[in-house]
Structure 1
Amino acid sequence: MLQNNAIRVAVVGMGNCGSSLTQLIHGALSTSANDRYGGVFWANGRPHSNEDFRIVAAFDVDREKVGQDLGDAVEASTNCTPVVWRVPHTGVTVQKGPRLDGIDGPLAESVIEAEVPDADVHQVLADTSADIVVNMLPTGAREATEFYADAALQVGCGFVNCIPIPLATNAGWAARFQEAGVPLFGDDVKSQMGTTTVHQTLVDLIQRKGGQITRTYQMNIGGNADFRNMTDAARRAYKNVTKTSAVQSHVEGLDIPDIGPNGFVEPLGDNKRAHVMIGAELALGMQVEINLNLTVTDSPNAAGVILPAVLECARARRRGDAGVLPEVSDNFFKMPVAPVQKPHPLHAE
């Protein structure tokens, strides 16, 4: 347990995932449900309480959240994830980060930027003694992600990259974090019981039983801001890379088609619906086909993995580990760090 030395977390992006993560820390982990691990994927097999984590800073650009206490920002009208735990007044005010490319594209139509000066992010991280910066910006926000990664480097914070912008899988960024002596975790969080996890598990099972995967695909639709954001092809491309690479790294002898978001359906809200098809050949040429439908609430599904990733990143920082740690990456993130079996230009720069 870490209760006497709580991990000090800076949250970048108070959207649906930020809301779920905040609820998990301030609500769910403080209940008796934590006796059953709180429903969280603790990689070390031990439950933790909300006293192990403290959100000390939060950044966003949305006028519905900037200037609000963290507890109020959780319930902002521009979020659609369920409010399961009402977060009390925290004393932490959401500050405005630089817009950069954070809400370019489709989100510019639904998110109105706060008309206040940008906070000095470097100074805030230093003043709050943040241990870990958690990046939950919209998919495709490359410039903004790199800004916060650079700020974390300068202040000496570990960085958990929950979105598919290439940092841990980019040699240049990995080297910078190694040289700075702080850990970098990423890229693109693999949800607790998400489509990627289920897809990987099924293909692993078939191959362990001696089968050969002959065809497979995956489809995903949802109604939250992330799916709206990825109606833009350029932003969707980042997710295509990480999801495809995650499954490809588990499939032998077959190039699989690109996997990614397939549509924004607003009435679904924070619910994601997915379909996985796997065809395989077994003994004597016997054919088997698995068709699986999955429905999940997207943001809590991610938060249940983001939180233990933060824990492991903080432990790595306190041990003095630096740079990317491939041995822990596959537990938490979609994009394989080493080896990347299906390189892509977006992740090879």
Structure 2
Amino acid sequence: MNVIYPLAVPKGRRLCCEVCEAPAERVCTACTVTYYCGVVHQKADWRSIHEKICQLLIPLRTSMPFYNSEEERQHGLQQLHQRQKHLIEFCYMVAQKYLFEGKHEDAVPAALHSLRFRMAMHGLSSVELVPAYLLLAEASLGLGRIVQAEEYLSQAQWTVLKSTECSNATYSLLHRNLGLLYMAKGNYEEARYHLANDVSEIWHKYLSDHYQVLSQARIQQIDLLGKRFVNDTGLDEAQEAEAVQILTSILNFRESTSDTSPQKTVFVLKTLIMLYYQMMNSSKAQEYATRALTLVKDQELDVQEQNNIQELLSLISAEEDRPIS
């Protein structure tokens, strides 16, 4: 491990610890651009991530050199951007690996690095910050730091609410962490609600990917022998039964909860439609498609959503009309 020495801070300049942001008293002598409040946090950061990225930090944390032309300056900025992007992804991957291994303490410094690089690159309110907040929340929950986890999740929720570009995968991770938080706090009803969101997102993603390929194959009649597909879910019977049980439970929960969100109910219905369609159970698929279409019309939801469900119904009807050979 690299040696650190007491830091002489110029008057009027405040340097912060890389781990806790307290006033820094020491500097890493290898890169000379990373500061710590003391030996404990320096060791924690070194063990987690700093050893792997020490030299990569130098060009990011020092002044850009003088360029002879605008073309050279733009090239330098592009290189800086690529370094930032690489460090965001690398630190995130390292933190995620620690979490998979149950090393929550080691995950924190790496996740903090990912968060700060994201802030520097995307700004303080970008949805790109959310994955790092969720890593920090998960690590905090693993360490039993409930209040800290709640703070990170509040930041993630607020950022997601302000954004129109959040992916389903990010929503899923947010709900999973909120579910774990409420379980830790003993609020099992809220935990159940958020974990249901997470599970439905996972199933929707899996089935949607299969559905896209399958629907195109059926439309183009790629089965050259003219036979109907027997099963296209990629799951065995036990897994299909589990999927049906989980998704119908989530649907029942959605429909019975006092603060029902019609958009989320439609989302689960569409997931069930895709599941039954791929299981070759056209009657069940049509039943859920009809329910989804009725709900969309009654709640006057987005016209595009209505068109999507109508398209699903047409595909199901075409499948029913197709002769079995």
Question: Does the pair score TM above 0.5?
Answer: no
- Tell me which of the two structures has the higher relative contact order, counting C-alpha pairs closer than 8 angstroms and 6 or more residues apart: 1
More strand by share: 1
Greater C-alpha Rg: 2
Query: Normalising by structure 1, what TM-score?
Result: 0.26
Query: Normalising by structure 2, what TM-score?
Result: 0.28
